[in-house]
Copies of this chain bind each other. A is one copy, B any other.
Amino acid sequence: MSPRELHLNINILHSGFSPAAWRMEGSDPRASFDVNHYINVARIAERGTFDAVFLADQAAISDRVDFRPLTSLEPTIVLALVAGHTERIGLIATASTTYNEPYNLARRFATLDHASGGRAGWNIVTSADLSQSRNFGLEKPVAHSSRYERAGEFTEIVKALWDSWEEDAFVGDAATGRFVDPAKVHAIAHRGKHFSVHGPHNIPRPPQGHPVLVQAGGSDDGRELAAEHAEAVFSASQSFEEALEYAADLRRRAGSFGRPPDSLLVLAGLATIIASTEAEARRRQEELRELIPLEYSLSRLAGVLQLDPKGLDLDAPLPDDIPLPADGGHTFFRATLALARRERLTVRGLIRALNGGTGHRTIVGTPRDVADDIERWFSARAADGFNLMPDVLPHGLEVFVDEVVPILRQRGLFRRQYTGRTLREHLGLARPANPYAAAAE
């Protein structure tokens, strides 16, 4: 078995992880709506031999758009542009199983995979919030368990569509006039609780077999979905111990689906504020904090915890009796609450600790500090890699690529150049066999 390899994604969270990123000197306030910003960031990440760029998604406007950029350009289209301006880096787009149709989504990701020579990945999400449900005809969000049940069935269908063309179904023999061998293109004839999809797909099997399946399983249902289908999982662990436990739990669950442990990578969310000395990094952190309106931070925190912001006292700890949502609360609900309790923070202190974010772990320090932390987590298998969220983009990524990546390479942790062509190859993931080929053996 080849040695484990560290994996790095760049999460292009519009202008950067900090809600104030767009206000920093050198930032273009329009960046989040400008496809050239995404292309530029992706090219820097490719220079740093990152595995992939990652785009989140939300089919609704944020209610805090008055203060900060939103994630809103449609990710598969943005990544198609990025594909045209890059050569190797993977392209992971988020798309919801709650408000899409599997046939349409299978086509979009197969198209992106063909168009990029096998660099596509799909981050499978369900959509929980009211603001999205109201854009799709519902007065309240779909219940948690039903959302995940639908997501599981949706994912099965998408995989079956990708597999509905055997590898050699395309013939393209000009002499005989045979374009496709219809005996090697199969209806999927799916009839399930949430969907009926006849198929077959109308695109040859994607270069990667399946675009890489990514998920961010936090809740119990989410972990089960990840364990069954995901090849990479984004985690939001705040502490090393939590991360170890999470990774072990996921591997155990994957095993119960008969999957080998190395078929599932854990990529931990990691926000960074980097400068050449720790003091300078702290100053930068303060500068960013100062630029985040308190009104924004308070409303965001209240939103994550599903509380009324007016009920929060800035100089007291969080109330003891915060009700756990019926669905167990999503990843950031639990992470935020855990952070507040563990560090015994006041609301103001919690807001400071979150840096305006929602619960992702943040390292503030020198390039060496960041590299040390990454090495520690990676070596102990608390993570197989990281979904990087620099404070400000592209600045924070440039610093990472120019100053952290060389250290990681020097320590033999990270690739010096790409050896593969596809995202699957970068991640060391096997190309899924076509079930029809297996059946014929």
Contacts and interface: CB of A to CB of B under 8 A. Distances in A.
Interface in A96-110: 99-101, 103-104, 107-108, 110
A172 interface: yes
A309 interface: no
A179 B69 contact: yes
Contact of A115 (B78, B100, B115): B78
Given A77-B77, A80-B80, A115-B78, A101 B177 contact: no
A399 interface: no
A196 interface: yes
A363 to B, nearest CB: 26
Contact of A74 (B67, B111, B204): B111
A30 interface: yes
A135 interface: yes
Contact of A72 (B34, B77, B172, B202): B202
Contact of A197 (B34, B65, B137): B137
Nearest to A25: B174
Interface stretch (A53-61, A226-234, A275-283, A379-387): A53-61
A181 interface: yes
Interface in A165-204: 170, 172-174, 177-182, 185, 195-204
Contact of A84 (B62, B76, B81, B170): B81
A364 interface: no
Interface string A39-67: 00000000000000000001111100111
A274 interface: no
A67 B182 CA distance: 10
Contact of A174 (B29, B83, B177): B29
Contacts of A236: none
A170 B293 contact: no
A60 B24 CA distance: 48
B291 A185 contact: no
A177 B293 contact: yes
A33 interface: yes
Contact of A61 (B68, B196, B202): B202
A25 B67 CA distance: 59
Contact of A77 (B34, B65, B112): B112
B115 A174 contact: no
Contact of A136 (B30, B111, B197): B197
Given A69-B179, A107-B74, A202-B60, A174 B22 contact: yes
A181 to B, nearest CB: 7
Contacts of A219: none
A172 B15 CA distance: 12
Nearest to A63: B182
Contact of A202 (B59, B138, B182): B59
Given A104-B100, A174-B27, A73 B200 contact: no
A334 interface: no
A131 B187 CA distance: 11
Contacts of A115: 35, 73, 77-78, 81
A134 interface: yes
A114 interface: yes
Interface in A223-260: none
A70 interface: yes
Contacts of A84: 80-81, 84-85
A134 B68 CA distance: 42
Given A29-B174, A66-B182, 9 more contacts: A30-B170, A59-B107, A62-B202, A67-B179, A73-B203, A74-B108, A78-B111, A81-B84, A138-B196
- Considering the complex of A and B, which 8 residue pairs feature the smallest CB-CB distances, nearest first? A29-B172, A80-B80, A134-B198, A84-B84, A72-B202, A61-B202, A35-B115, A74-B111
